[in-house]
Amino acid sequence: MPPTLFRRAALAGCLLTATLVAVPSPAVQAEPVPPVPVITEDPYAQVTPPDYKLSHAFKEAERRAAEKPDVYGPPYISYGTIVAPVTAAEAQAEAGALIALPPQMTPPEDGTGDPSNVPPPEEKESVPPEAGIAAQAPAPEEQLSAADKSARQSLAPTADAGETWTVQPKVKLVKYSVNRLNAIKDEIVAISPGVLPGVEKVSAALIQAEQNRVIVESSDASEAFRVALATRYGADAVVVRQVPDEGFDGAQARWNDTSVGGFYGGARISTSVGSCTNAFSWRYSGYQAMITAGHCTSLNGSVSTLSEYQGSVVKDTWNNSTGTVYIDGQSTYRGDLSLIRLSGSKKSAARIYVGNSTSGSSRAVAGMWSRRPGYGDQYCTGGSTAGELCGWKVNALKINVRYSGGQYARNMTRGYKQGQCTRGGDSGGPVYTVNSAGKVVAKGVHSGGGGGGSDGWGGALDPCREYFTDVYEAYYGFPGVIATS
């Protein structure tokens, strides 16, 4: 073959080879994202609270998780055992360390959600005017700032000599940390539909520690919405619980309370925002004060009963446009709270009204619960519209909820019951139990409610729902302490 022909043949072969290599391969199809699961039942409806020893030990498990929220998952109690999830194997030994309990522990007097078998309440006219009004110098606790109390909370408990009770947590490796699950829970109630289509149907979000995921309560359980959740957060990080499409009333008075004998909790108050109910009397730095729901007031705004001016708001955890906000540089959402400083020489008594909405009966306040709320806890609410309602049972902790006005209440507790629901004007009222001496043990501050249909009467299929802020959020968020008698 002549050289020229050989070169042409070789070149043709090269071109042919190049052409074959350049042919594109078929496009690789992306794996479809599986939707997050959907449930309809309430996983916490039948939970019973743990005994006092396990409750005490659980505080320590929560403290450990709070100190290292990027390493620990949310702890929980399962069949009488504390489970301490961690996201890293190297944290297992620390998480599984024995928890020591104080010797000679006795059950706390946290009271009951059924006050039918305790001493009866008293009419305000029969209570000595000085009862429940501290005339002595402020106690050391009243001088503590919120920062002081938070620092005290973070100190690890020490065991006394002769410790006899210990609890061994069970350690479990999980995928998602406290911080990651909280980030999902916080975003899901505030993100726009433009970013996450279908989110406008979401009413609430809470962490399901046992499954290391977030429960998203929504009336939309469509596959499109569940795929969108899985795409954004992970298919195993979220579950949708399908619930009815309803808004929750975030503005839910006892009437004509006066400063004679001190203002009581459970009484109707009026502000520039509307009419609500006071919760409990408070003491800080020598001041007489009261607490109520933040959405009932505005910062620096005035508060009155129907009879007289009461005082002004000095602290709150609520923005009336957006909902729960951080307070005083703190990094914990503290629900829906407001601190009212009483005017001049006016005083508040360590008592709350009980009974129906027109009742003058009251009970003394013994103090706060020995622990934060737990699943299965039973309690009462006191509102100036619906009056005293008992038989509530806790079925959601640290839940974020979207109210019908568009605000987001964060870090709330939810309860449910059948029968009469809370009503407009009850917001800000006391949440409590009654101990064997007939005294109130404070559990929280009522924020809002829902359920019960158009008649406000809850049945088995549509029970009343009630949201409150844990009283410990007031304790750690505000200066001072609850007033006791």
Instruction: List b or e across 407-446, with b for residues whose CB sees 16 or more CB atoms inside 10 angstroms.
Output: bbbbbbbbbbbbebbbbbbbbbbbbbbbbeebbbbbbbbb
CA dihedral 392, 396, 397, 399 (to 10 degrees): -120
More confident position, 311 or 160: 311
pLDDT, position 26: 56
- 431-457, pLDDT tens digit by residue? 999 999 999 999 999 999 999 888 889
d(CA 190, CA 199): 9
**Range of lowest pLDDT (124-133, 175-184, 299-308):** 124-133
More confident position, 31 or 239: 239
DSSP class per residue in 142-184: GG--HHHHHHHHHSPP-PPTT--EEE-PEEEE-S--HHHHHHH
Average pLDDT of span 165-193: 95
Domains of the chain: 36-105+166-242 (no CATH), 115-137+249-482 (2.40.10.10)
What residue has token string 């409610």?
Answer: 449
d(CA 399, CA 414): 7
Output the CA angle 44-469-382, nearest 5 degrees.
95
Q: Read off the pLDDT band of 130 (50, 70, 90).
A: low
More confident position, 15 or 122: 122
Distance from the Cα of residue 301 to its chain's centroid: 25
Average pLDDT, the chain: 88
Q: What percent of the chain has a predicted confidence (pLDDT) above 70?
A: 86
pLDDT, position 252: 44
pLDDT, position 150: 65
The type of residue at 340 is: I
User: H helices within 222-340, ranges in order?
Assistant: 223-233
**Range of lowest pLDDT (28-37, 54-63, 95-104, 385-394):** 28-37
pLDDT, position 395: 97
Average pLDDT of span 212-220: 97
d(CA 218, CA 243): 6
Average pLDDT of span 325-352: 96
Structure tokens at 379: 């309690």
Structure tokens at 384: 């100036």
Confirm whether pTM is higher than 0.75. yes
